[in-house]
Amino acid sequence: MSSANCPCGSGRALEACCGPFHAGAPAPDAESLMRSRYSAYVLGLEDYLLATWHPAARPAALDLEATPRPQWLGLAVKAHTPLDDTHATVEFIARYKLNGRAFRLHETSRFERVDGHWLYVDGEVRE
């Protein structure tokens, strides 16, 4: 890992932020997992994304190399809401460009902690 800033927008170096989660350390909370998943999309870490997806909702593959690929521009976390010890939501806006056009994904994601590991369950996309 390099000392480049983490793609999640924390302002910290990748190895001090999302890098340890990508290497297998469990995320301490749903927001940390969501940030590490955003970084994984930016970095093309399909195995990590699939491993942190709840088995009940996990797709077989993501095809991150499909063209055209989005150019991820930034992440803004709007809210992290723990619901109980094993459930939480994270509202975020991820900005990206596709074919030169700018887009924003505004989603409220649901997370569940299973065997000590936070997992992405699904998300509700907002307009």
Structure confidence at residue 39 as a pLDDT band (50, 70, 90): very high
Q: Check pLDDT > 70 for residue 2.
A: no
Domain of 21, in residue numbers: 14-126
State the chain's mean pLDDT as an integer.
95
Q: Within a domain: residue 3?
A: no
CATH of the domain at 93: 3.10.450.50
The per-residue pLDDT for 98 is 93
CB under 8 A, 24+ apart: contacts of 72-77: 72/7, 72/38, 72/41, 72/42, 72/96, 73/97, 73/102, 74/9, 75/7, 75/8, 75/9, 75/35, 75/38, 76/9, 77/31, 77/34, 77/35
pTM of structure: 0.94
- Work out the number of other CB atoms within 10 angstroms of the CB of residue 124: 11
What is the tens place of the pLDDT at every residue in 12-34? 999 999 999 999 999 999 999 99
Number of domains, the chain: 1
Q: Within a domain: residue 111?
A: yes
Give phi and psi for 74, each to the nearest 5. 170, 160
Q: Which of 24-28, 45-49, 68-72, 82-86 has the lowest mean pLDDT?
A: 68-72
Q: How large a percentage of the chain has pLDDT more than 70?
A: 98
What is the tens place of the pLDDT at every residue in 93-111? 999 999 999 999 999 999 9
The per-residue pLDDT for 90 is 98
Q: Within a domain: residue 43?
A: yes
Q: Within a domain: residue 4?
A: no
Q: Within a domain: residue 50?
A: yes
The per-residue pLDDT for 1 is 42
Q: Within a domain: residue 2?
A: no
Structure confidence at residue 3 as a pLDDT band (50, 70, 90): low
Closest of 86, 76, 75 to residue 30, by C-alpha: 86
